Amino acid sequence: MTTYIFGHKNPDTDSICSAIAYADFKEKTGEKDVVAARIGNINNETKFVLEKFKIAPPMLLKDSTGKKMILVDHNQEAQSIDNRDKGEVVEVLDHHNINFASQGTIPFLTESVGATSTIIANMYFDTKTQLDEKIAGILLASIVSDTIIFKSPTTTEKDKITAQKLAKLLGIKDIESFGIEMFKAKSVWGKMTAEDILEMDRKEYDMSGSKVSITQVETVDYKDLVPRKKELLCELSRIKEIRGLDLSVLLITDIIKEGCLLLAVGDTKKIEKAYNKKLTNGEVWLNGVLSRKKQVVPVLEEVF
């Protein structure tokens, strides 16, 4: 019976590439019938990464009924495949907060590192498993993506050391410019509708009974998106209505200025309280805020 490995909805580079790499690792270490999958569309950054390292995108898995599943880069039900309980989760490999109702005893590995790919790369290193350049490439890209070129406070020493090892293997001398090239590939807003932008990396959270949606997009210059503010606020409102949210947030993260422009619709008083700053026309600049996981989600959970 096939086991499907996949990351979260609205997959980012780490979700797609850790599924591909973990399937490869499983196969190389003797497990059979393990397939990398995805449960959403591939974003421009990931497309760039897969093309650069000449790897085909994983298959789209639409239904979990009767399937064996390994979750990577997520464990929360809200971020997972629809009707997950119709299948069987046989393993979890993640670097996010645990919010998982167990169906028994399963291998469940979480580590507080900046990317799931850091954990997987070290599995290759620790077991001396053959690591092809292609796989090394996508693992490096995922670490650089998730840690925002090591600028995010989620970054650990282990992420940096792992990335350096991978870069050495690939002959990449300048990880920073490799990262900027990747983030530039992601920031092609002209071709994207407001809906595309909002759905690219959107996650929903239950905060003490309130429904909150937070999208994060990384840019090399947040000002590129400012002319589209009205359109983005409209889309935030639309999502709020159709998803029945209390708060709908967009974080436009500027990886060069190292901060984010936050746009929000709904119970914005909570944001003002959380950061002790006023929103003007639905926006506020938050200096130094780069991580949704560490600097936004827990801060909002606290006020909700």
- Minimum gap (Å) between residue 232 Cβ and Mg ion: 19
Q: Residue 109 in contact with residue 94, Cβ under 8 Å?
A: yes
Q: Which stretch binds Mg ion (CB under 5 A): 20-28, 79-87, 107-115, 182-190?
A: 107-115
Is 218 a residue that touches Mg ion (CB under 5 A)?
Answer: no
- Minimum gap (Å) between residue 15 Cβ and Mg ion: 5
Question: DSSP readout, 183-222?
Answer: HHHH--GGG--HHHHHHHTEEEEEETTEEEEEEEEEES-G
Q: How many helices (H) and strands (E) does the chain have?
A: 10, 11
Is 24 a residue that touches Mg ion (CB under 5 A)?
Answer: no
- The residue count for binding Mg ion (CB under 5 A) is 7
Beta strands in the chain, from DSSP E residues, in sequence order? 3-6, 34-38, 59-60, 68-72, 88-94, 108-110, 202-207, 210-219, 247-254, 259-266, 283-287
Is 64 a residue that touches Mg ion (CB under 5 A)?
Answer: no
SS3 18: helix
- Residue nearest Mg ion, Cβ-based: 14
Choose which of 14, 199, 218, 254 interacts with Mg ion (CB under 5 A). Answer: 14
Helices (H), 147-193: 157-170, 175-186
Q: Which is nearer to Mg ion, 139 or 239 (CB)?
A: 139
**Residue 87, both tokens:** 């299948």
- Minimum gap (Å) between residue 94 Cβ and Mg ion: 8
Choose which of 4, 9, 12, 175 interacts with Mg ion (CB under 5 A). Answer: 12
Is 146 a residue that touches Mg ion (CB under 5 A)?
Answer: yes
Is 45 a residue that touches Mg ion (CB under 5 A)?
Answer: no
Is 73 a residue that touches Mg ion (CB under 5 A)?
Answer: yes
In angstroms, how far apart are the furthest CA atoms of the chain? Answer: 57
Is 15 a residue that touches Mg ion (CB under 5 A)?
Answer: yes
Q: Please give the residue ranges that form the binding site for Mg ion (CB under 5 A).
A: 12, 14-15, 73, 115-116, 146
